[in-house]
Structure 1
Amino acid sequence: MRLALVTGASRGIGRATALKLAQQGYRVAVNYRKRAQEAQQVVAAIREQGGDAFAVQADIADEAQVMALFQRLDEEDKPLGVLVNNAGILFTQCRVEDLSAERLQRVFATNVTGAFLCCREAVKRMATQHGGLGGAIINVSSAASRLGAPGEYVDYAASKGAMDALTKGLSLEVAAQGIRVNSVRPGFIYTEMHADGGEPGRVDRVAAMAGAIPMGRGGEAEEIAEAIVWLASEAASYVTGTFIDAAGGR
């Protein structure tokens, strides 16, 4: 059995991914920033289905907390095999002309710096040159990185564009070290994150717009988790530096 770390796993895509990785036999580290009760519920759900998991708190925007997170993983007697960089934040919808530097810094601290830090620590543990067994890193980006999210979340979209560059660049750095690095770019998915942006019904609004989503519906977190778990699996053993757009045709 190997370890899988899923950041931001207390809800949404992270939760669905943690459940599916546990079904594949991983001991799952369920990372959360502040939703301790929800994270423990994920752990309980995994154990109820016969899996193995534990919750671990860390704000990935804080380097010291990232270091402590990976030191907690080091206490396990199992090697790290999978990192899913899922944690991400956004704020209330607004135009670029109304953005503040503080908001930009907070979005990039989690969505970009946090992802880089987690990748850095994972590579130190996975790379064959460091005595690791290899592994898979999956970055949860967004279709917004391609589409820009005008009028709503250009800052969030830009942070996911940076994550896409991380995916491509890191995949080339570590391909010979037994580590595959890929990305899933979800579109409009039914998760609680839309409420964070001030519009809980955003997916239904967009889905009702003619032609906005070619498939005519929003996606489910479990559908994104399926793509993530496939990229983590041996079924994707010759896949690295690539992107799966799971956005209903957008």
Structure 2
Amino acid sequence: MNRTALITGASRGIGAATAARLGERGYHVIVNYHRSEMAARAVVKDIESAGGTAQAVRADVRDPAEAARLVAAGARLDLLVCNANIAPTFAPPSAMSWADFSAKVMGELAAVFHVTQRALELMREQRSGQIVYVSSVLADVTMPSALSQSTAKAALNTFARQVAAEAGRHGIAVNTIAPGLVNTDASRAARTPEHDELLAENSVLGRITEPDDVAALITTITDVGFRAVSGAHILADGGHQLLKT
């Protein structure tokens, strides 16, 4: 039986790279997008050109009805990768509005809550499944003006641990990946060459993390050889924090 993977926020960046790798591994990939239909369809086309199967499904995963429809797009669900990004507002606490703060924190949680609930229903029936949450190192480190992002990702990590603790008895493994800054379209808009040079210098790898670096980690921990790994929180920051200790 073909395995099915659902990736939220899969039209670009980490999500698109993960979709490509999972397609190569024989998964039927459900490529979720919210606004970027053409980009999502391009991801599907690339997977199909490489011999895999995929479909693009539009859904705002913050909405319970749309999340339910998204999960129902596949006949079964073996892997859920929660990667949908809720854009944060970067501002110091004194300048942060409650509306902006709550939009990020509540949006982040809604984006994983509804789709996780529906996915767990299917996976419990199957007595198997895997869930990977894409978090951030900002859950555990401080950065100027990152109040909403850090708080949202810290809440996501706690959510993931609770899901892992309760889902394991049903044969479901749950893990979290925490990237540092990744070279995506979104991050490039806010970076300068000087910033990139500093980031590379502060990585033990001497370079910025690429989307495929994170995608490779996600696909690796979902291999059968990692079946006993659940509740793990794995850094993917190029060793940046090693140089800060």
**What's the TM-score, normalizing by structure 1?**
0.90
* 2:227 paired residue among 228, 231, 237: 237
RMSD: 1.8
How far apart, in 1, do the equivalents of 2:81 and 2:197 lie? 28
Report the equivalent of 1:13.
14
The Cα of 1:97 is off from its aligned counterpart by 1.5
Is 1:181 the counterpart of 2:171 in the alignment?
A: no
User: Per-residue CA shift, 1:106-141, capped at 9, x if unaligned?
Assistant: 2123321211211111111001xxx21411000000
Report the equivalent of 1:216.
206
Matching residue's letter, 1:43? V
Is 1:111 the counterpart of 2:108 in the alignment?
A: yes
User: Per-residue CA shift, 1:213-235, capped at 9, x if unaligned?
Assistant: 34332100000001111122212
How far apart, in 2, do the equivalents of 1:219 and 1:151 lie? 21
How far apart, in 2, do the equivalents of 1:52 and 1:13 lie? 19
Report the equivalent of 1:44.
45
Report the equivalent of 1:53.
54
* 1:88 paired residue among 82, 85, 88: 85
Is 1:140 the counterpart of 2:134 in the alignment?
A: yes
Alignment length, in residue pairs? 239
The Cα of 1:210 is off from its aligned counterpart by 8.5
Between 104-113 and 13-22, the greater mean CA deviation after superposition: 104-113
Contact kept? 1:89, 1:107, Cα under 8 Å: yes
The Cα of 1:11 is off from its aligned counterpart by 0.3
The Cα of 1:212 is off from its aligned counterpart by 3.6
Matching residue's letter, 1:86? N
Q: 1:35 to 1:210 in 2, by over 3 A?
A: closer
User: Per-residue CA shift, 1:62-121, capped at 9, x if unaligned?
Assistant: 122112212323xx3xx2000000011223532122111221222123321211211111
How far apart, in 2, do the equivalents of 1:3 and 1:63 lie? 21
* 1:166 paired residue among 147, 159, 170: 159
How far apart, in 1, do the equivalents of 2:186 and 2:217 lie? 20
The Cα of 1:201 is off from its aligned counterpart by 3.5
Displacement over 4 Å in runs of 4+: none
Contact kept? 1:32, 1:39, Cα under 8 Å: yes
Contact kept? 2:200, 2:207, Cα under 8 Å: no
* 1:199 paired residue among 171, 190, 194: 190
How far apart, in 2, do the equivalents of 1:154 and 1:107 lie? 10
How far apart, in 2, do the equivalents of 1:114 and 1:210 lie? 31
Q: 1:172 to 1:49 in 2, by over 3 A?
A: same
Matching residue's letter, 2:172? I
Contact kept? 2:64, 2:115, Cα under 8 Å: no
How far apart, in 2, do the equivalents of 1:92 and 1:104 lie? 7
Is 1:121 the counterpart of 2:111 in the alignment?
A: no
5+ long unaligned stretches in structure 2: none
Report the equivalent of 2:237.
247
5+ long unaligned stretches in structure 1: none
Between 54-63 and 210-219, the greater mean CA deviation after superposition: 210-219
Residue identity (%): 31
The Cα of 1:209 is off from its aligned counterpart by 5.8
